[in-house]
Structure 1
Amino acid sequence: MNYYFSIGDIQDKINYHYNKSSEKSDFPTIIRELFIEKKYISLSENLPDISNYSFLDDNAFFDATKNLYIKLNDKLLADERLYNVIEDNHIMAVTNNFFNTKGSKHLHDCFEIDYVFRGNLNLTFLNENRTLNKGDFCILSPFTEHIASLPDKNSMVFSILVCEKTFKDNFYPLLSNNDILSHFFNNILSNPDKPNYLLFCTENNLEVSSIMKRLFVENFRYDKYNLQCCIHLLNLLFVSILRVSKTYHQFSSYKFGPDYAPILRYIQSHYKTISLPTLSEKFNYSIPYFSKIIKDSTGSTFAIIVQNLKIAEAIRLLNETTLSIEDIAYEVGYHSPDHFYRIFKKNQGLSPLQFRKKNNSL
């Protein structure tokens, strides 16, 4: 049997305990007390209509979320050890963070995406403490120990928990092979031996905020369409985040910090003419050190990255224009058409002319 507890009642009970004892409560204890007091709804048809919540302005939305109801079954109420944010046979969940709850170190066997809708979030990751601001997205890889807590009652943070397969099926295909930022993101999140995170600063992007509101509310619509809608909105969210990351410079990770964003963007924009010595000089690094940080952050060498970017642009020009092979070679940054010919054939298994003919015949 399922029971439904409102976010407002949960937060009120948390506040009651804190005001009484100055100690922070844990979530299972709060739920058990509400259950004993019978502060729940037992029939889903008695839940309030929330279909218009995501269209409210941010302040009204903040207040309205207190009337959203979290679903828990009786087995979880009987044994807190069975509690899991993602229900059995589910692939994702969207939750909010409660103020004045115990902020203990924890990890998940899934990806966690934290979004600061309002105010701030205090995040502790390994030996690093940082404050996330409104509009910040933090993607934590599986089995990454961290502590997340709200600094005040006016902050609002949504957490999306996505099983590893669902995350990879929906996020990784959006990463382009000819985009250095995609290589960076993939390298950070796909290494199971190195806990890490990606932080995106969306600068209060209204599109991202709107999708996040819809996704959060959809999580509380307990019908047969819920999961399909959540996956759809998750895809939209990923696309919006990646669009923002290509527009703004603000993204970072635990290992590499914020200083690598300008470097990766500069390579992406100047690959046709760039060289490792000029790049090293521009950013004031030695050539050996610069080679190492590029390999560490993207998983590829500088030469391979530049070559792949050139080949990807050459493929686009072969498919979409009538430029000659010689003109395309110069256009993508090769000084010798013969050199371009050899590199392209080695990379694609066909000469540029053979590649164009094959694709034009499809």
Structure 2
Amino acid sequence: MELTREDFRNYIKKYCDDEIFYRDLYFQEKNHPETFHEYCLNLDRQFISAHRFFVPELQKEAWYPYMEEKDLFGDLSGNIMFSKHYRYTPIFDHEHEFFEIICVYDGTAHTTIQGMSHELHTGDICIIPPHTMHSIGIFDDSLAFNILVRGSTFQSTFFQSLTADSALAHFFAHVLYRKTEGNYLIFHTFDDIRIRDMLENLYIEYLGHEKYSYTFLNSMLIIFWAMLLRYHENDIESILTRDTGSGSMTEILNYLNRHYQNATLGSTAEHFGYSTSHFSTLIKEGTGQTFLQIIRDIKLNQACRALRETKLSNHAICELVGYESPEHFMRTFKKAYGITPGEYRKKHKI
């Protein structure tokens, strides 16, 4: 089924039957609170059950408080799902073991993540990692949809595009995988037409179900992620970018990725206008690692890349990534990976 952009825009804007049900329910409660309970009691329970509607007034227990991948994806051979967020759906807190990407297509959406409230606007892309309690509410004509991705697929597709920038990869890994209160990432794209077009292309591909659609979706998702980083790397909001003063954690880690060979705690703190002690605390709270651990990880990631992609000797790689001696490099590498650089290179080639 081939869809045009106009077809898609009509689809996303049109109120489906489920949305109409929720809209009627919302305004009934808002305009006639005194008779709302009686109104709910007179609803067709079989109809509600068949459509899997959420009516809090009739619900005795939490509604889908936790969703496993099998509950949503079932026997689906693909790893990516798209779903329009039904306007006027009653707010309910929930979490799941897959990634959810909330895309605000037009208007405003309100979300709460681990008790922290956020107002999302047109062009905002909010990434919520697994096992994170959250909710979303839209109670007007605003439009949003969700991209749901299996956990393993998220790592293999999204993080594949970050291998060349280990500092930024480290930043995302902390936000998305550490058990920190309020995990989330928001890209503020400000209705960037390039991002909007790509989102439309992704959703159209999903709705079309054409041949090799899942392969297309995986590849397009990688490109979409790269576009977000290319055009909006400095428009990221997360728990790590709220209190970092003159430099966001993204900027700090990008700086370290460029200067890891000779950056020191003191020189980096001075560059961003912090005292050494305060900067050390800031790094630890923002990433969960010390300054030296971050530098070590960047150096090792660059060394692994050189071992995979070049024929440079261990001595040359040692100099390239900034280790003082080949012996120090060998000891650090084996302690981190359990194998020598030579064994790593051989294993990769196999």
1:93 partnered with 2:81:
yes
Stretch of structure 1 that moved more, 162-171 or 273-282? 162-171
CA distance in 1, matches of 2:330, 2:251: 32
What runs of 5+ residues in structure 1 fail to find an aligned partner? 1-5, 37-73
Residue 254 of structure 2 aligns to a residue whose secondary structure is helix
CA distance in 1, matches of 2:182, 2:217: 26
1:8 partnered with 2:25:
no
Q: For residues 321 and 104 of structure 1, do their structure 2 counterparts lie closer, same or farther at Cα, with a shift above 3 Å needed?
A: closer
One-letter code aligned to 2:15:
G
Return the TM-score normalized by structure 2: 0.67
CA distance in 2, matches of 1:319, 1:164: 26
Matches within 5 A, 1:1-362: 8-10=15-17, 11-19=19-27, 21-22=29-30, 76-77=50-51, 86-90=72-76, 91-150=79-138, 152-153=140-141, 155-176=142-163, 179-191=166-178, 194=181, 196-221=183-208, 229-230=213-214, 232-245=216-229, 247=231, 248-254=233-239, 256-257=241-242, 259-313=248-302, 332-333=321-322, 339-348=324-333
User: Shift in Å at residue 234 of structure 1?
Assistant: 4.3
Q: Is the 8 A contact 1:211 1:233 kept in 2?
A: no
Q: For residues 193 and 270 of structure 1, do their structure 2 counterparts lie closer, same or farther at Cα, with a shift above 3 Å needed?
A: closer
Residue 8 of structure 1 aligns to a residue whose secondary structure is coil
User: Shift in Å at residue 194 of structure 1?
Assistant: 5.0
User: Shift in Å at residue 297 of structure 1?
Assistant: 3.7
Q: How much identity, in percent, do the aligned residues show?
A: 26
Deviations 1:53-92 (A, max 9, x none): xxxxxxxxxxxxxxxxxxxxx9854797998782533354
Q: For residues 244 and 272 of structure 1, do their structure 2 counterparts lie closer, same or farther at Cα, with a shift above 3 Å needed?
A: farther
One-letter code aligned to 1:118:
D
Q: For residues 123 and 319 of structure 1, do their structure 2 counterparts lie closer, same or farther at Cα, with a shift above 3 Å needed?
A: closer
Q: Is the 8 A contact 1:122 1:132 kept in 2?
A: yes
Q: For residues 299 and 177 of structure 1, do their structure 2 counterparts lie closer, same or farther at Cα, with a shift above 3 Å needed?
A: farther
Q: For residues 315 and 109 of structure 1, do their structure 2 counterparts lie closer, same or farther at Cα, with a shift above 3 Å needed?
A: closer
Q: Over aligned residue pairs, what C-alpha RMSD do you find?
A: 4.4
Deviations 1:157-213 (A, max 9, x none): 111223334434433444428611111211222235755112223344444333322
User: Shift in Å at residue 217 of structure 1?
Assistant: 3.2
Q: Is the 8 A contact 2:241 2:250 kept in 1?
A: no
Q: For residues 79 and 205 of structure 1, do their structure 2 counterparts lie closer, same or farther at Cα, with a shift above 3 Å needed?
A: closer
CA distance in 1, matches of 2:111, 2:124: 12
What count of residue pairs does the alignment treat as equivalent? 305
CA distance in 2, matches of 1:98, 1:78: 13
One-letter code aligned to 2:75:
N
One-letter code aligned to 2:177:
S
User: Shift in Å at residue 250 of structure 1?
Assistant: 1.9
CA distance in 2, matches of 1:296, 1:13: 46
Q: Is the 8 A contact 1:208 1:237 kept in 2?
A: no
